[in-house]
Amino acid sequence: MKILVINAGSSSLKYQLIAMETEQVIAKGTCERIGIPGGNLTHKANGKTFVVEQEMASHTDAISLVLAELVDKEAGVISSMDEIDAVGHRVVASGEAFTKTTLVDDEVMKTMDEIAELAPLHNPAAILGINACREVMPEKKMALVFDTSFHATMPDYAYLYAIDYDDYKKYKVRKYGAHGTSHKYVAGEAARYLGKKPEELKIITCHLGNGSSISAVDGGKCIDTSMGFTPLAGVPMGTRSGDIDVAAIDFLCKKKGMTMEEGLVYLNKQCGMKGISGVSSDFRDLTAARDAGNYRAALALKMFTYSCKRYVGSYMAALGGLDCIVFTAGIGENTPHIRKAIAGGLEAFGVVIDDEKNNCKNDGTIHDIAADTSRVRVLVIPTNEELVIARETAALL
């Protein structure tokens, strides 16, 4: 069975074709600059990289180009589209409308349109990608895999904001979380690596990338997570502020002459590591600047790791114990000094990092960076959201 995984952005579209028998990626690539002059497709297959310079006026053009590449004589990996058994789409937010992977039909797409406002930066783009696939491959079965599904098991006292309960009921304003596909994958991999059943473990998963979120996973189920109604909440991120007193936002908007809408763009794009450091949102740049003596870069990194540590500590309490901490995504997989700053100094809680093990290279495998004496295991696990999407799509079929 072969599953095509699609992750559509507003002007880009990433894809992977995965053979489910071996769970190997047989082709993958990215369409960039959809609807913008200078469009191109980078396609990796058969051990080679192919670049196609071609304008794509719409997501439909992009999908058509991807399919042409997949069956191409040289760059292709299948003889016809019939070899694709189904398509799995990544969707960022589901609200309360969907709590699990769902097969696409007209009714589902109607609901998708209704909930698009929940993730205005992401969901409308996913809808473009899904509609494009339905247009180009009308006969294919398609599944929607939601980033929020894994968080659907949070108890009400964890996901509710203390607002008027009637307003929650009416407007569905509450915590939904994000990155659920990644948290689910690494929590499952941790259990497999430790030779335990997910039900036996209390795990804190730290997905640290451009966007970062931390989840508490009890017996395989998410019980709390740091992101909120949108991915703006939680720890400070590359360009997002993370948690902030809303009264400060109102104050800032008035002072800077911004509307609330502009204020939210500011908090999403101009704050976080970029805003504090004035250097960059990228942790490699921040680390280099800090090492060169830049105070604000050092401050930004300290604020990030301090905030992550506070979440880890609070989730240990929420879980009532801890067996394992997992680090994943761009920063979590590649940056020993960040892992050390977050999980170091927690010896009183049974967490002991081994500095030598922590300096492991990201080689695509799982590393346990805890000392032998550590009661809590600390794992670095490369995430694989596309594989989860493919697995869920295959399971639904």
CB 386 within 8 A of CB 25: yes
Of 61, 147, 224, 323, the active-site residue reads: 147
The DSSP code for 71 is T
Residues 6+ apart with CB under 8 A from 1: 19, 20, 21, 85, 86, 394, 397
Q: Is 156 a catalytic residue?
A: no
For tokens 């939210």, the residue is 264
CB 69 within 8 A of CB 76: yes
CB 29 within 8 A of CB 111: no
Amino acid at 308: C
d(CA 37, CA 48): 26
Closest CA to 362 of 323, 319, 329: 329
Closest CA to 206 of 230, 228, 235, 238: 235
Strands 48-53 and 24-32: unpaired
Nearer to ligand ADP, 64 or 210 (CB): 210
d(CA 28, CA 70): 9
CB 215 within 8 A of CB 177: yes
d(CA 326, CA 193): 12
Binding site for ligand ADP (CB under 6 A): 209-211, 238, 282-284, 329-331, 334-335
Which tokens go with 238? 């590359």
Residue 359 DSSP SS3: coil
Nearer to ligand ADP, 112 or 331 (CB): 331
Residue 383 Cβ, how far from ligand ADP at the closest point, in Å?
Answer: 8
Neighbours of 171 (CB within 10 A): 10
Q: What 3 state SS string does 75-127 have?
A: CCCCCCHHHCCEEEEEECCCCCCCCCCEECCHHHHHHHHHHHHHCCCCHHHHH
User: 41 forms bridges with which residues in the sheet?
Assistant: 31, 52
By annotation, the residues acting in catalysis are 147
